[in-house]
Amino acid sequence: MPQQAWSRKRERQYEKVKASQLDQGRSEDRAEEIAARTVNKERAQKGESKQRSRTSTDDVSPGHRGGKRSGHGAQGRTKAQLYADAKRQGVKGRSKMSKADLEKAVGR
């Protein structure tokens, strides 16, 4: 549920993002999390919050980014995204793998 510190504008933004996420098939909990993170990041970038991380203020806004990093485009995830997944999974030899090899190695 939205926090008390949010303005009416941020409450509307939260509800709109949450509805959008639900339309895309996300669970209720995940939709709420994404909506809250989006609103909080916007608040941090606009100077509306007391605390903010450097990445929140230096990064591209969620509204402008619009899923550019989601990896759901025609080409799928980028090689860098696949490499990061392989690194988290501890895949050996990942630095010499092609994008196709990395896709097979991470199993997605």
Convert the pLDDT of each residue in 77-95 to its tens digit: 888 889 998 999 999 999 9
- Round the average pLDDT of the chain to a whole number and report it: 82
pTM beyond 0.75: the answer is no
pLDDT confidence of 54, banded at 50, 70, 90? low
**Burial class (CB within 10 angstroms; exposed 0-12, middle 13-18, buried 19+) of 36:** middle
Which region among 12-16, 28-32, 37-41 has the lowest average model confidence (pLDDT)? 37-41
C-alpha to C-alpha distance for 13 and 76, rounded to whole angstroms: 28
pLDDT confidence of 66, banded at 50, 70, 90? low
C-alpha to C-alpha distance for 77 and 83, rounded to whole angstroms: 10
- Cβ–Cβ under 8 Å, residues 99 and 82: yes
What's the confidence (pLDDT) of residue 73?
62
The percentage of residues in the chain with a pLDDT greater than 70, rounded to a whole number, is 73
